[in-house]
Amino acid sequence: MTADGRNPAAVLEMRGITKRYPGVVANDDIDLTVRSGEIHALLGENGAGKSTLMNILYGLAAPDAGEILLDGTPVDIDGPNDAIRRGISMVHQHFMLVPSLSVAENILLGDEPMANLVLLDRRAAARRIRELGASFGWEVNPDSAVGSLSVGWQQRIEILKALYRKARVLVLDEPTASLTPQETREIFDVLRRLRSEGYAIIFISHKLYEVLEVADRITVIRRGRVVGSRRPSETDEDDLAELMVGREVQLTVDRGESHPGEPMLTVTGLHVQDDRGRGVVHDVSLEVRVGEIFGIAGVAGNGQDELVEALLGLRSVSSGKVNLGGRAVTGASPRRLHQLGVGFVPADRHRYGIVLSFPLTDNLCLNDYYHAPFARGMVRDDDAIRSYADTLITQYDVRTHSSAAFAGTLSGGNQQKVVVAREFDGELRLLVLDQPTRGLDVGSIEFIHRQVIAKRDSGVAILLVSAELDEVLELSDRIGVMFRGRIVQVLDARKTNREEVGLLMATGGRATEAAS
Amino acid sequence: MSEGPLTTETLQREHPPQASVPERRRRLPPLRRALRILLLPAGAIFLALLVGAAIMIASSPLVRGSVNPMLPLTAYGALVAGSVGSFNAIVSTLVQATPLVLAGLAVGVGFKAGLFNIGAQGQFLMGGLAAAAMGIATAGLPPIAAIPISVAAGMVAGMAYGFVPGFLKAYTGAHEVVTTIMLNYVAIQVVAYVASGPLRGETATFARTETITTATLPVIAGREGHIGILFAAIAVPVIAWLLFRSTLGFEIRTVGANPDAARYAGMRPRVLIMLTMSVAGLLAGLAGATEILGQVGHMPAAYATAVGFDAIAVALLGRAHPVGILFAGLLFGAMRAGAGLMQIQAGIPVQMVNVLQAVILFFLAAELIVRYVFRVRGAGVEVAEMQTITRSYGEQAAK
Amino acid sequence: MIDLLYDIPVIGLVFQFVGYLIDVLPIIAPTILAAATPIALGALCGFMNERSGVVNIGIEGMMLTAAFVAWWTASLTAQLIPDGPAGPLGASAALLIGLAAAIGAAMLVSLAHAWLSVTVRADQIISGTIINIFAVGITGYLNLLISRSAPPSAGQFTRLEPPAWLTELPLIGWLFEALFAQGPIGLTLIAAVIVLQVLLFRSRWGLRTRAIGEHPEAAETVGIDVIRLRYRNIILGGVFAGLAGAYLTIEFGNSFQGEMTNGRGFIALAALIFGRWTPLGAFGAALLFTASEGIQRAVRFGPPEGALGDFLASVPTQFYSALPYLITIIVLAGAVGRSRAPAAIGRPFSREKRERRARQPRSSGAAPSL
């Protein structure tokens, strides 16, 4: 294929890629070779530099040093358009789909079939998309709005979008992040088939077992450097984990024995509507006991967000009852709930958790700013606020030069620690956790998990909601599976497995009737 | 003061709170700190004066019939002389600055809550109208009673007129930028109707109300230095205290910076939006009352003023901080005070002041130009996500 | 039957009013359309911006600048070039050059807006505010200087005379009369509304514009140059602001006064929102907002008889003047819940944002204590 005798099958070579950002070397002399007909896994924890590397490959960022070779020829990739033209396609970690556009419009965007110079050829477009979908056995409706599709379907659309562009190199950035095990398996089947058709596939993940299952070669990145490259047959999860984190890690939390006591949170027959007035939580009943972690598993968008918001007083309850320690708190305000000892760690800390433009002092007393010792009447006591903040910063190991630093200047892990510090402090009865470790590095994850277990053992009732099945399985004592706004089944976490929960998440099981 | 592009993020961001910096030693000496704060605005003003000079030279054939490169010097000389050249000039600057500072605070308070109150103009007019109406109605009372009643009427009217867009925003989601602008035009018509209809003065040659008598603000300095100057001088520390020292101010700032977090923290964004708009209206209404009772002496049916719009520039230049607004108001007040002399001595129409204001704002918004010209390096805080006033544009009502 | 409705006390007045409106509609339609034209054109300018994800509250200033430039350039040209033969629709060289200059000026101001909001990533509302303040200042300044020499007006465009068979059609003839008995700018609006409506949903440009207004990052990843397309759309939007301004000084009228746009640029924005960010919707909203001007005219020149006439005559003229603004507020308050803005609107787009997100969690990697 090439004249100078390089391995003809090496479709893509990245050599010595280096990318610096102020204060950080995101990629440090990274080499990566991907062959045709190979699934090459890129493994590393959040923030290791995987995404940066792929952004460089996709022309979204320019490397400070290094070169990229396609079919042995050095290329200068100037923007995504150029990458697409050279046969590189990418499925991004966060869906790059426009919710208000149709399936067809999303897939065609940027490479539209034209009826004439100006107008689109919508009929040809619909036909091509149906054909493309049919080749994978998917029945695609080109006209449905992408925003109304399930997460699994959106992931399929993303893949069709990449294939539509006639790619040779296909990059998938954490494609399984919010999928059920069953959906994940389907994606893996697709990947294997594409491999047999000669695609060069880069599969990015931080989930060890997935990488071991599907990859032909695994390259591990830590702190911007390649720290090892393995074949699945030569390695195992412990080896990969150590490579990835740089020290021996405990793969699962040592959650110890739990000793559930009296029910703390009792929800009966709860109905909640979304912003558009559609019922999204139906007749949910559950019980979280003192000293217990109750996990709610479910594919994103099955009513978990609305359930959490309703429990925290952020969304009104249509009908049903909520009891906290024997007290009726249905429709109570967030402040009242906080006074009663309810804490909350949100998935999107930038939304509910933190005010980026405020200093840590203000962020740490965000719920309690209005009463003593932080305020006397209407007057704030800055000294009290500061000394309280300093205490929490030390106690929760928030890395910052001062409590006056703006929250926005902290790393994601430290921002999350600020939220945890604020919400975990004080007399707690109920803790609501919504994907509390999303996007964090292993160190922060371990820290937060240990804090959660400690709270459980000190007699707090904990409700853990997560689309990340692994986290729910790891931490929970009992697991309620949420499907289309209902809790379809409650399982004992020690007696269930990924498969069972995943199946319930995907289908709701046959248990829909049995639950009611 | 924080530096950074001119967005609400920088407008809402704290100036390092005095007492909450643990290591006081680490702070810059006050003088250097002040210099640093002033560098960007000063650079922007300087560049704007250059642009203004270029416009004057380019348009000088229209002014004097031939190109006159010295025209800007004459004009700026007159501008300075008219604003700080004498005791009376300085008093005139203070008088001009008074409504600008008050209305500037009205816009600035809104910024802190994430609201863009373009309606200061309408609130100003309604405040002025109510003050005039009450001033005429209390003509039989002694000043000690007439003045407080009239001023209070102006404040209440402005507050009510600010409350309306606040209410619409909170409960219908109608964006305040559009509703406040519409209300500005409505206010013009209300003033026109009242001053040429029910309250039309008998003696006046053009449509206006009767002359205000006992409610006229007493002069305390120079020829025209009325007591309203003190209102502005008091309002600045009061608003600063409210925003930075009180829990209410904390709530307002939190709602502005992150309404969802505010809601979770037990604050009520809807109430705070209405409250903030009411406070803003009150300040703008006070500005209107001060202007009518202290300067004009009656309410004209066609009251030509741009205070409410200049206030936006004042608030932006002052970066929504009360002290910044004070200085920005003084600067623009000086320009207004000197503009008359500039027109007389150099033949430059007073509208040049508007041009200068816009260009100052332009350089503040595009501060990279200023940084480039003056080699200022960024010392701002890096915040991961940008928030802008525009964020809520078109969104649904706050929950 | 109808008389019966009319006789109901108080509420009968409403029925009478509706009946009156239906009667006078053919007569006041041209007035309404004339008043709506600059607003609808301004709304098209906003459309080009906001569909691309950029707020533009500077329409007012762009229109004012264009109005002044159109009038001044036409006037200057008319002084230089002696009266030539006027073309169709009264198009003289002076007017055409004035029109071109107005469009050019508005595009230039739009370029500044694009630069501030796309490249500098300043707050888009602040950028618009700057434009508005600047426009009031510079046009007021120059107008005052120029008016000292009292330059002559270059006149104005004239109206098209649609064929009689069209305007004399029963029932709908008046509609064609109103739509087509217009000058070149008014006719351009009618064409632009239709063309843009089709392009938005059927063309590649429309698809890509909707994409960058809703989710610019997604558009960027499929190879669309978001920044370039935003620039292009914003600058093209200036064409409509230019037409809107020129309409005021060389088609509808033939003179310039300071701040003569009188909030039309802002009403245009409200029309765009009420029209759900579509050209056709915005045009309809503009007609609704300006209906009161037509009614005011009708009441002045042909008031209805009886109690209704007395009532309408007793309403102060200022009320009619305030009506478009009040209608805008009321409609907006009712409409926003149902009208959804392009999702990315007001959010500055940056390519590096993604990179920054990727390197976010970093410094806390070491083993935590406690």
Could you tell me which of B104, B121, B270 has the C-alpha nearest to residue B182?
Answer: B121
ipTM: 0.84
Mean pLDDT of A154-158: 91
Flag if B22 and A344 touch (Cβ within 8 Å): no
Give yes or no for residue A507 having a pLDDT over 70: yes
Inter-CA distances, A52 with A49, A210, B48, B188, C355, Å: 5, 21, 41, 56, 6
pLDDT at residue B376, as a whole number:
63
Mean pLDDT of C297-317: 82
pLDDT at residue A515, as a whole number:
42
Give yes or no for residue C317 having a pLDDT over 90: no
How far separated are the first and last CA of chain C, in Å rounded?
A: 86
pLDDT digit string, tens, across residues B17-69: 333 333 333 455 677 767 777 788 888 999 999 999 999 999 988 877 788 88
* Three-state DSSP class for residue C317: helix
Mean of the per-residue pLDDT values of chain B? 85
Residues C326 and B185: their CA atoms lie apart, in Å, by 9
* Residue A68: its H or E element: strand A65-70
* Three-state DSSP class for residue A380: strand
**What is the phi/psi pair of residue A119, to 5°?**
-95, 150
Residues C211 and C197: their CA atoms lie apart, in Å, by 16
pLDDT digit string, tens, across residues B94-105: 999 999 999 999
Sign of CA dihedral B290, B296, B298, B303: negative
Do residues A358 and A380 make contact, with C-beta atoms less than 8 angstroms apart?
no
Give yes or no for residue A510 having a pLDDT over 80: no
Give yes or no for residue C240 having a pLDDT over 80: yes
B residues 345..364 contacting A (CB < 8 A): none
More confident position, A388 or A348: A388
- Measured between beta carbons, the chain B residues lying within 8 angstroms of C138 are 55, 351, 354-355, 358
Least confident of A294-298, B1-5, B112-116, C276-280: B1-5
Residue B389 DSSP label: G
pLDDT digit string, tens, across residues C25-52: 888 899 999 999 999 999 999 999 999 9
Mean of the per-residue pLDDT values of chain A? 89
Residues A440 and A418: their CA atoms lie apart, in Å, by 13
* Three-state DSSP class for residue B219: strand
Closest-CA distance of chain A to residue B275, Å = 16
Least confident of A398-407, B382-391, C156-165: B382-391
Give yes or no for residue A516 having a pLDDT over 60: no
Do residues B111 and B389 make contact, with C-beta atoms less than 8 angstroms apart?
yes
How far separated are the first and last CA of chain A, in Å rounded?
A: 64
Could you give the angle at which helices B71-84 and B30-64 cross, rounded to 10 degrees?
130
Closest-CA distance of chain A to residue C318, Å = 40
Quickly count: other Cβ atoms within 10 Å of residue C149's Cβ. 8
Mean of the per-residue pLDDT values of chain C? 86
Residues C193 and C177: their CA atoms lie apart, in Å, by 18
Selecting from B17, B261, B384 the residue whose C-beta is nearest the C-beta of A366 gives B261
Count of residues making up chain A: 516
Quickly count: other Cβ atoms within 10 Å of residue B205's Cβ. 6
Per-residue pLDDT band for C348 (boundaries 50, 70, 90) equals confident
Least confident of A212-226, A459-473, B7-21, C29-43: B7-21
- Measured between beta carbons, the chain C residues lying within 8 angstroms of B312 are 129, 133
Flag if B247 and A380 touch (Cβ within 8 Å): yes
CA atoms within 13 Å, Cβ hemisphere of C188: 19
- Measured between beta carbons, the chain B residues lying within 8 angstroms of A356 are 257-258, 383-385, 387
Q: Which strands form A486-492's sheet, in the order they lie side by side?
A: A342-345, A430-434, A461-466, A293-297, A478-483, A486-492
Residues A494 and A477: their CA atoms lie apart, in Å, by 7
Sign of CA dihedral A178, C53, C116, B177: negative
- Measured between beta carbons, the chain C residues lying within 8 angstroms of B197 are 316
Per-residue pLDDT band for C340 (boundaries 50, 70, 90) equals confident
Q: A446-477: string of b/e by CB count within 10 Å (b at 16+)? A: bbbbebbbebbeeebbbbbbbbbbebbbbbbb
Per-residue pLDDT band for A374 (boundaries 50, 70, 90) equals very high
Residue B283 one-letter amino acid: L
Quickly count: other Cβ atoms within 10 Å of residue C262's Cβ. 18
More confident position, A113 or A438: A113
Residue B226 one-letter amino acid: H
SS (H, E, C) A227-274: EEEECHHHCCHHHHHHHHHCCCCCCCCCCCCCCCCCEEEEEEEEEEEC
Give yes or no for residue B380 having a pLDDT over 50: no
Per-residue pLDDT band for C335 (boundaries 50, 70, 90) equals low
pLDDT digit string, tens, across residues B251-263: 999 999 888 899 9
pLDDT digit string, tens, across residues C182-194: 999 999 999 999 9
pLDDT at residue B35, as a whole number:
73
pLDDT at residue B29, as a whole number:
66
- The alpha helices in B86-119, defined as continuous H runs, are 87-112
Inter-CA distances, C204 with B90, B143, C48, C241, C349, Å: 61, 70, 15, 24, 21
Contacts of C267 (CB under 8 A, 6+ apart): B182, C39, C42, C286, C289, C324, C325, C328
Mean pLDDT of A145-174: 90
- Measured between beta carbons, the chain A residues lying within 8 angstroms of B9 are 357
Do residues C292 and C320 make contact, with C-beta atoms less than 8 angstroms apart?
yes
Residues B151 and B131: their CA atoms lie apart, in Å, by 6
pLDDT at residue B386, as a whole number:
31
Interface probe, candidates A78, A108, A109, A410, chain C, greatest C C-beta count within 10 A = A109
Quickly count: other Cβ atoms within 10 Å of residue C247's Cβ. 32
SS3 content of chain A, % helix, strand, coil (to 5): 35, 30, 40
pLDDT at residue C336, as a whole number:
58
CB pairs under 8 A between B and C: 194
pLDDT digit string, tens, across residues A349-373: 888 889 988 999 999 999 999 998 9
Mean pLDDT of A173-188: 86
Confirm or reject contact between B396 and chain A (CB < 8 A): yes
Instruction: Report the neighbours of C using a cutoff of 3 or more CB pairs below 8 angstroms.
Output: A, B
Do residues C163 and C101 make contact, with C-beta atoms less than 8 angstroms apart?
no
